[in-house]
Amino acid sequence: MSIAIENFVKAIYKNDKNDSNNTKPGNIAKKLGISNAAATDMAKKLASKDLLHYEKYQELQLTDKGTQMALNIVRKHRLWEALLFKLFDMSLHEIHKEAELLEHQTSDFLADKISAYLGNPKFDPHGDPIPNAKGEITTVDNSIALSQTQAGETYIISRLMSDDKEFFDFCALHGLKYGNRITVTNQFKNNRMTQISINNNTILLNEDFTNIIYVNESN
Amino acid sequence: MSIAIENFVKAIYKNDKNDSNNTKPGNIAKKLGISNAAATDMAKKLASKDLLHYEKYQELQLTDKGTQMALNIVRKHRLWEALLFKLFDMSLHEIHKEAELLEHQTSDFLADKISAYLGNPKFDPHGDPIPNAKGEITTVDNSIALSQTQAGETYIISRLMSDDKEFFDFCALHGLKYGNRITVTNQFKNNRMTQISINNNTILLNEDFTNIIYVNESN
DNA sequence: AAACTTTTTTAAGTATACTTAAATTTTATT
DNA sequence: AATAAAATTTAAGTATACTTAAAAAAGTTT
């Protein structure tokens, strides 16, 4: 299967996991930076390969086969992120960009080698779960968006759900990192802002960030 | 530049380094597993990109720009080989196959990270030189093919110039590995065979192997 | 040097993955 | 419910990287 196909299947999968309300060709096209027409063409082609269900004007839906393919690619992506993060001094954004390319040129054999080398990790450096070789994912039920937290409570950062350079630069600057401890000092519901304390510094975060930073309750 | 272009340029470069007598489209086509017509087409296209000199019915010759591109790809290939060899339990043949794919999806930035992590090695696990970021290569002048060695002398294996699985399986079985010591016990010139001693075992090698195993004199 | 063989080139055609522009259908608005 | 807006689909066309088949040139043999 080509890189274009892999990226298309992956985009549908990720779309389903996030803003699942729109999996029509146009929305996928926007995420991939291709025209709507190209996305429709591709959808038809993938339907003929039994990777997704396609009906005119309806939402695209991955078949089991398509889902397995997506999980396989996501697995490789996140394993590369984990490996590059461990070995090299690179930002999460740089790591993501490289993994985006490497994921398509990685045999299952090599993926398993990377996984074993890392001790079969269940999460990547963003806190995103790494599917195992069978495509099974460890769910992270009890993690919630920072926007949904309680003022006065302390939490552990469990996921940074973004690919954006500016976001990661901000996180790196303030110590917002997978596994780190933060205290929510104020929730300004009306302004949709959250004030946190980390490393004795106080930071005010707006909704753009508090919706993509996930945390677990700190026991 | 596309993967097809990168592989074409690399094939010319490697051809020049080995059986340099024929760099015409047909020979390159054979190495890449494409038709002669496709190779001619590609040669014309690359000439228009100033990557090689093309004149009808003549040998193909890389320009400086083309040579730099080839060296950049070879650098990435050999850095991946060195990294995979260090981290994972994989055969030289498996490592080669993975590197063949990864080399095209590796930024200069990542290549430099890999190189630094490995301590900027000058040679890969086959003993082949790794070009530096500027495309400069450490020459290995004093290494000679096993077929050219003297009976009675002891040598250090410096290069295993092959991509072939069977060859590497054979090498692994008998301890023929980069850096290992061997003694040439007999040179059967008429039969083009070389008898060596390694780890107290005697092995008789024919020309197919003695021409691709390179050694240095052992001081 | 003529004849044969091999290689290279040209020409025509294919699959993939896109594009833009127009037509169609769906969705939202009044 | 009619109309306007937005999205989707169809249609036609492009670039890349190939293919096969035929024509042309080069190389080899006798």
Per-residue pLDDT of chain B (219 residues; tens, 9 = 90+): 999 999 999 999 999 887 667 899 999 999 999 999 999 999 999 999 999 999 999 999 999 999 999 999 999 999 999 999 999 989 999 999 999 999 999 999 999 999 999 999 999 999 899 999 999 998 877 889 999 999 999 999 999 988 888 999 999 999 999 889 999 999 998 888 999 999 989 999 998 899 999 999 887
**Across the interface, do B105 and A107 touch by the CB < 8 Å criterion?**
no
- In 3D space, the residue among A4, A68, A56, A69 whose CA is nearest the CA of residue A33 turns out to be A4
The distance (Å) linking the CA of B58 with the C1' of D25 is 11
Cα–Cα distances in angstroms (integers) from residue B184 to residues A96, A198, B141, B209, in the given order: 51, 67, 20, 14
**Across the interface, do A106 and B109 touch by the CB < 8 Å criterion?**
no
pLDDT score recorded for residue A140: 73
d(C-alpha B207, C-alpha B114), whole Å: 36
Residue A184 has pLDDT above 70, yes or no: yes
Q: How many CA atoms lie within 13 A of A19 on its CB side?
A: 8
The helix/strand/coil state of A38 is helix
The token duo for A104 is: 């398509």
Band of pLDDT at residue A19, cut at 50, 70 and 90: low
**Residue B90 near chain A (CB below 8 Å):** yes
Residues 29-88 of B with CB under 7 A from strand C: 29, 36-37, 40-41, 43-44, 56-58
The distance (Å) linking the CA of B47 with the C1' of C2 is 37
The helix/strand/coil state of A214 is strand
**C-beta separation of B189 from B150 below 8 A:** no
- CATH T-level topology, domain B76-139: Arc Repressor Mutant, subunit A (1.10.10)
d(C-alpha A103, C-alpha B211), whole Å: 37
The CATH number given to A75-139 is 1.10.10.10
**Residue A21 near chain B (CB below 8 Å):** no
CB under 8 Å to B149, separation ≥6 — which residues?
A: B155, B184, B187, B194, B215
Average pLDDT for A7-18: 92
Which of A111-115, A182-186, B16-20, B110-114 is predicted with the least confidence, judged by mean pLDDT?
Answer: B16-20
pLDDT score recorded for residue A134: 96
Which of A60-74, A88-102, B129-143 is predicted with the least confidence, judged by mean pLDDT?
Answer: B129-143
Which architecture does CATH list for A3-62? Orthogonal Bundle (1.10)
d(C-alpha A54, C-alpha A56), whole Å: 7
**C-beta separation of A52 from A14 below 8 A:** no
pLDDT score recorded for residue B19: 65
The distance (Å) linking the CA of A35 with the C1' of D14 is 14
- Structure letter (DSSP) for residue B67: H
CB under 8 Å to B122, separation ≥6 — which residues?
A: B129, B130, B138
pLDDT score recorded for residue B164: 87
The dihedral over CA atoms of B5, B8, B13, B14, expressed in degrees to the nearest 10, equals 130
pLDDT score recorded for residue A147: 92
- Protein-covered nucleotides on strand D (Cβ within 7 A): 7-12, 16-22, 25-27
pLDDT score recorded for residue B20: 62
Task: Please check whether the two domains, A75-139 and A144-217, share a CATH topology.
Answer: no
Query: What percentage of chain A has pLDDT greater than the value 70?
Result: 99
The helix/strand/coil state of B57 is coil
d(C-alpha B115, C-alpha B132), whole Å: 9
**C-beta separation of A102 from B102 below 8 A:** yes
**C-beta separation of A178 from A126 below 8 A:** yes
CB under 8 A, 24+ apart: contacts of A166-170: A167/A209, A167/A212, A168/A91, A168/A92, A168/A93, A169/A91, A169/A93, A170/A209
pLDDT score recorded for residue B17: 83
Q: Which of B73, B88, B94 to mutate to test the interface with A (most CBs of A within 10 A)?
A: B88
Residue A196 has pLDDT above 90, yes or no: yes
- In 3D space, the residue among B158, B174, B141, B172 whose CA is nearest the CA of residue B212 turns out to be B158
- Dihedral class, residue B33 (left if φ above 0, else alpha if ψ from -120 to 50, else beta): left
pLDDT score recorded for residue A18: 74
**C-beta separation of B30 from B47 below 8 A:** no
Is the domain covering B144-217 a CATH 2.60.120.620 domain? Answer: no
**C-beta separation of B178 from B157 below 8 A:** yes
Domain extents in chain A: 3-62, 75-139, 144-217
The helix (H) or strand (E) run that includes residue A66 is helix A64-87
Cα–Cα distances in angstroms (integers) from residue B74 to residues A101, B9, B13, B91, B136, in the given order: 18, 10, 9, 19, 11
